[in-house]
Chain A
Amino acid sequence: MHEMSIAASMLDVVLQAAEQAGATRVEAVEVEVGALKLVVPEVLQVAWEAVRADTLADGAPLKIEEIPAEAECRQCGRHFEPDIAYSFLCPGCNRADVRIVCGNDIVLKSVICEVNGAPSTSAGTEP
Chain B
Amino acid sequence: MRKINVVESVLQANDALARENRERMTRADLLAVNLMSAPGSGKTTLLEKTLPALAPEHACAVLVGDLQTTRDAERLGNLAAAVTQINTGQGCHLDAAQVAEGLRSLELADVDFLFIENVGNLVCPAAFDLGEHQRVVLLSTPEGDDKVAKYPTLFQLADAILLTKVDLLEVLEYNIGRVRDDLSRINTRAPLIELSSHSGQGLTEWLTWLRDQYAARGNAPGDRSAGTASSRARE
**A residues apposed to B, CB below 8 Å:** 1-2, 5-6, 9-10, 12-13, 17-18, 21, 23, 27, 31, 34, 36-38, 74, 84-89, 95-115, 119-120, 124-127
Known contacts A9-B10, A87-B185, A103-B227; A112 and B91 CB within 8 A of each other: no
Contact of B92 with A by CB under 8 A: yes
Contact (Cβ within 8 A) B187 A88 = yes
Instruction: A27 to B149: give the CA distance in the assembly, Å.
Output: 41
Instruction: A104 to B5: give the CA distance in the assembly, Å.
Output: 20
Give the A-B contact count at a CB cut-off of 8 A.
Answer: 145
Instruction: A94 to B28: give the CA distance in the assembly, Å.
Output: 38
Contact with A along B184-199 (1 / 0, CB 8 A): 1111110000000000
Contact of B109 with A by CB under 8 A: no
9 closest residue pairs by CB, A with B:
A104-B227, A97-B189, A105-B228, A100-B227, A87-B185, A106-B10, A2-B124, A96-B188, A126-B3
Instruction: A7 to B121: give the CA distance in the assembly, Å.
Output: 20
Most buried by B among A27, A97, A104, A112: A104
Cβ–Cβ < 8 Å partners of A110 in chain B: 3-7
